[in-house]
Amino acid sequence: VIVRLRPPGKQEEEADLIVEKASVNSLSILDHTFTFDSEDIFRLVGLPLVENCLAGFNSSIFAYGQTGSGKTYTMWGPPSVMSEGASSSTDRGLTPRVFERLFSRIDEEQSKHSDKQLNYQCRCSFLEASIYNEQITDLLEPTQRNLQIREDVRTGVYVDYLTEEYVSTMKDVNNLLLKVKFTCYYLKLLCSYMLNINKHHIRKFHNCL
C-alpha cells in the first residue's frame, strides 16, 4: 500500500481548514508515501509488476480515492498524455510507463532468445465495474453489459465475453484509450441521468487489463 499526496487545488487553498492538528496515533502509514514525482512511483510500483508479469504471475495496480484526489492522474497522467500519447512527458502516469517498459522487455527477451523463436502476445481490455448495479460493462464494446466473472482451472479468473484487442506498441494502447474515452463520455451522460432519478450514489471503477 502506498499513499500519494497531491498539491491543493485553488478551491482548497481558499477554503477553511477542516483539520488543524491530528493525533500522532490517528494515522499510520507503514509502507511508502509519495508526492508529485511519477518516476519514483513507477520505479517502486510499476517495474516489479512488469517483471512479475513476464515471469507468469498476475499483477495489478489499484488506485483508490475520493473524486478529485488524483487517481486518473496517477494512473495515466495529465489529459495531454492521455489524448496525445506524449511518451516523453515526465508527467505520464503508471499505465503508459508500465506498457512502455513491458513492450521494451518483450523486445529484449525475444532478441535474447531468438534461437528459441520465443513469441509474446499482448491483449488489452477495458471494463467498467459498477458497485451499485453490480454490473460489468465492456468499454471497447459498450453494448456488452452485465458481463460475468468466471474462473478457469487453467487460465484463472476472467470476464466472460470481454473484448480483447492485440497491442504491440504504446500507440496501439493509446488508440484503444481514445475509443474508451468516447465510451466513458457516453456512459457518464447516462450515469448523470440515472443519478437524477435515483437517490443512491453510483460508484464505478475503470479497469485496464
SS3 208: strand
Place of cell 502476445: 121
33 labelled ligand-binding:
no
Distance CA 7, CA 18 (A): 16
Q: How many CB atoms lie within 10 A of CB 154?
A: 4
Q: What angle do CA 142, 143, 148 make, to 5 degrees?
A: 85
67 labelled ligand-binding:
yes
26 labelled ligand-binding:
no
Distance CA 120, CA 106 (A): 7
72 labelled ligand-binding:
yes
71 labelled ligand-binding:
yes
70 labelled ligand-binding:
yes
192 labelled ligand-binding:
no
Distance CA 60, CA 50 (A): 10
121 labelled ligand-binding:
no
- Distances from the Cα of 191 to the Cα of 68, 71, 148, 184, 201, angstroms: 18, 19, 21, 10, 10
Evaluate whether 126 touches 208 at the Cβ level (below 8 Å). yes
Q: Which residues sit in the known binding site for ATP? A: 65-72
Q: Which residues sit in the known binding site? A: 65-72
